[in-house]
Structure 1
Amino acid sequence: MMKELKKQFYLRWNDLALILLLQTGLFLFGEIVIAVMVHGMNDRESIFPFGTLLALLVPFILMLFLGMYSLPVCFNMAIGMGTTRRRMLPAFIGISLLQYFLGAGMVYLCCLLEKWIFRIAYAGIENELDMQTVFQWKYIVPACIALAAWNTWMGAVYMKYEKKAFLFFWVLWMTIFIGGFRINRMLEKQYDHPFLRIYVKVAEWFREFPESAVLPAIVLISAVLIAVSYRILCRQQVQSHSGNR
């Protein structure tokens, strides 16, 4: 297994480096934006941890779709070189978890650094959001497991259905993004619409679930996605430039 983990790491170290560099750049950009707003625009009522938020959200969105491309590459190379599917998939998930834990650790360091910057450079200005409360193991572990399972499932589905899967995920993403934006605007304007009433009821229903039930449910759903992915990959042929074999 260690040999397979090393193979996967060598295949994907550039993804890890990309995420860490992206987080660093986004954090620095966020700090520049805050400095411009406070010192350039003289907005001193409150500040927002923009650097940490950027370092978290943008790479997270990128990692949501990374598995669609990384799994097919790793699968074709590993299986083509004689690795069994039973060994390849755990190694892929293991490196995915390593990548996500390191990414979460990087964001946590950004959070601590930003809080220190706020205390030194913006003393007396209210911080609107303390993101350090998010960085607890009970949240990080299920989130990383869920992200690894989601990426594995996306990659497996993409390998099986190719362009149809890409179109499905693209439509799903645009529906969530655009639909969520429009729903928020309608809620802000207090529109009275049957769909909005249903949305509010469902949201309230989900909020009532305790963490002790939600977090294990996330892990369970992740296990199901991994099992489905394994079933798909068991029947998947290696793809090469000259065709399938």
Structure 2
Amino acid sequence: MIDNFLIQCKTRRAEVLEFLAVALGGYVLGIIVMMVIRANTMEENECVTLGVLIAAIMLGFVHLFGIIFSFIGEFNMALSMGATRKAYVGSYALFNMAELAGLELLLFVFGKIEFAIMGVIYPQCDVILDLTQYFQWKYLLAVIIGMTIVELFAGAVILRFGMKALWGIWAVWMFIMLVPVKLSENEMIAAKMHQIGMQIGFGNIAQYLFLLGVVVAAIMAVLAWKILRKQRVTV
């Protein structure tokens, strides 16, 4: 496992640099957009840490699809060169989690720098959204483990069923991104959901969603390994 992990460190250095570039680009873009918006439309005393927000969104999107496709090619290559499935998948997942942890740390540092910059440039500014307040270990750990499982599961599914599976993954992605937003815009549905939330208790709902996420992640991890354990090498 250690040897395979060290190989991951060597072969995926370029990948890390690419993600760092995406994070930095999104961060700079967000700060520029924030300054333009604030100069034209926002109240004098309102600011948002938009730089780290845009960087996080861009990084999450690029990392998700970037790892899915890189894993597909590297899995075949590694096994064709004699690596065992268990050692390779384990080391790949371990490096992926370490990479995500490093990127989360970078975003946190970006957020603190942005907060300090706004304090200097706009001393009267009231920060109405600071993303760094959500950088708590339980959320960060959930993102690290959750994204790694999702990425490897999606890669395994595409390896097994081919590129046609990508359309199914894309459909699920769009459903998650769009349907909840559309439902919340419907006043009757939103009122009903609020009523249900009041009855159950919003704190309990969060716990139920967390447990559901754990169960789904466990199922995806098991299915991914079952697929990869039997997947034939195509290189």
Q: TM-score range by the shorter chain?
A: 0.7 to 0.9
* Identity within the alignment, %: 21
- Say whether 1:15 aligns with 2:10: no
- Going from structure 1 to structure 2, the CA distance change for 1:161 and 1:92 (only over 3 Å counts) comes to same
> What are the residue-to-residue correspondences of 1:183-202 with 2, within 5 Å?
183-186=183-186, 190=187, 192=188, 196=190, 199-200=193-194
Which whole-Å CA distance do the structure 2 matches of 1:210 and 1:234 have between them? 36
Which whole-Å CA distance do the structure 1 matches of 2:194 and 2:83 have between them? 49
> What are the residue-to-residue correspondences of 1:1-245 with 2, within 5 Å?
1-39=1-39, 43-186=43-186, 190=187, 192=188, 196=190, 199-200=193-194, 207-209=202-204, 218-219=213-214, 221-240=216-235
- Going from structure 1 to structure 2, the CA distance change for 1:138 and 1:169 (only over 3 Å counts) comes to same
Letter in 2 for 1:131: L
Q: CA deviation at 1:130?
A: 2.5
Letter in 2 for 1:224: I
User: How many pairs are equivalent?
Assistant: 234
1:8–1:74 Cα contact (<8 Å) kept: no
Does 212-221 or 39-48 show the bigger shift? 212-221
Which whole-Å CA distance do the structure 1 matches of 2:220 and 2:178 have between them? 26
The residue matched to 1:208 in structure 2 has which SS?
A: helix
2:71–2:155 Cα contact (<8 Å) kept: yes
Letter in 1 for 2:221: I
Alpha-carbon RMSD across the aligned residues, in angstroms, is 2.6
Which whole-Å CA distance do the structure 2 matches of 1:48 and 1:72 have between them? 38
- The unaligned stretches of length 5 or more in structure 1 are 241-245
Residue of structure 2 equivalent to 1:243: none
Alignment deviations for residues 188-230 of structure 1 (CA, whole Å, 9 cap, x no partner): xx3x25xx56655676658433777765764554343222211
Q: CA deviation at 1:131?
A: 2.0
Alignment deviations for residues 76-127 of structure 1 (CA, whole Å, 9 cap, x no partner): 1110110001101101101110111111011101111011011111111111
- Going from structure 1 to structure 2, the CA distance change for 1:137 and 1:172 (only over 3 Å counts) comes to same
TM-score, structure 2 as length reference: 0.87
2:97–2:145 Cα contact (<8 Å) kept: yes
Which whole-Å CA distance do the structure 2 matches of 1:73 and 1:202 have between them? 46
Letter in 2 for 1:233: L
- Going from structure 1 to structure 2, the CA distance change for 1:206 and 1:78 (only over 3 Å counts) comes to farther
- Going from structure 1 to structure 2, the CA distance change for 1:176 and 1:217 (only over 3 Å counts) comes to closer
Which whole-Å CA distance do the structure 2 matches of 1:53 and 1:70 have between them? 25
Which whole-Å CA distance do the structure 1 matches of 2:135 and 2:95 have between them? 21
1:45–1:125 Cα contact (<8 Å) kept: yes
